[in-house]
Amino acid sequence: MAKIIYVLNGPNLNLLGKRQPEIYGAQTLDDVQAMCEAAAKPAGLRIVFRQSNAEHELIDWIHEAREAAAGIVINPAAYTHTSIAILDALNACSCPVIEVHISNIHKRESFRHHSYVSARADAVIAGCGVEGYLLALQRMVTLCANG
């Protein structure tokens, strides 16, 4: 049976492809979803792909993933740098968690250098563009097999 991986995306990522393409690239979030679904199938994974601009919705989905998922890939976007509540929700999950950032947050403004989520993440991928989501899924296969 395919393992379910939640791929959660935070605020403003619905504007991917339109928003600051010099930083985030030209591909849309629908493109990223399609890429993730194409990669997941042969890897024996099933993707639940979601985006929200609301912190509480992301938290509710992490709670849902706590029961339903074999792993969580999350790009918390700006909540990365502010949300202890998202960290607490992830800390309530026992499955592997991989944090993804399209841009290299360490090369950008200093307020992006700290991530609350990294205190829980089993892996962090930053600066690989949207390919980072595929790298996260590849790593998730290994983490799920070892777990």
Where along the sequence are the contacts to ligand DQA (CB under 6 A)? Answer: 12, 75, 77-78, 80, 101-103, 105, 112
* CA 80, 127, 120, 28 torsion-angle sign: positive
Q: Which two tokens stand for residue 66?
A: 């706590």
| Nearest Cα to Cα of residue 50 among 32, 68, 24, 26 | 32
Residue 19 CB, nearest distance to ligand DQA (Å)?
8
Closest CB to ligand DQA among 70 and 121? 121
- What's the Cα-to-Cα distance from 134 to each of 70, 85, 86, 98, 114, rounded to whole Å? 16, 26, 22, 11, 23
Residue 108 CB, nearest distance to ligand DQA (Å)?
7
**Calpha distance 46→112 (Å, rounded):** 31
**Calpha distance 87→27 (Å, rounded):** 28
Decide: 39 and 106 in contact? Cβ < 8 Å.
no
Closest CB to ligand DQA among 41 and 114? 114
Catalytic one among 56, 63, 79, 101? 101
Residue 50 CB, nearest distance to ligand DQA (Å)?
15
Residue 78 CB, nearest distance to ligand DQA (Å)?
4
Closest CB to ligand DQA among 33 and 103? 103
Residue 101 annotated among the catalytic residues of the structure:
yes
Closest CB to ligand DQA among 3 and 129? 129
Residue 24 annotated among the catalytic residues of the structure:
yes
What are the catalytic residues? 24, 101
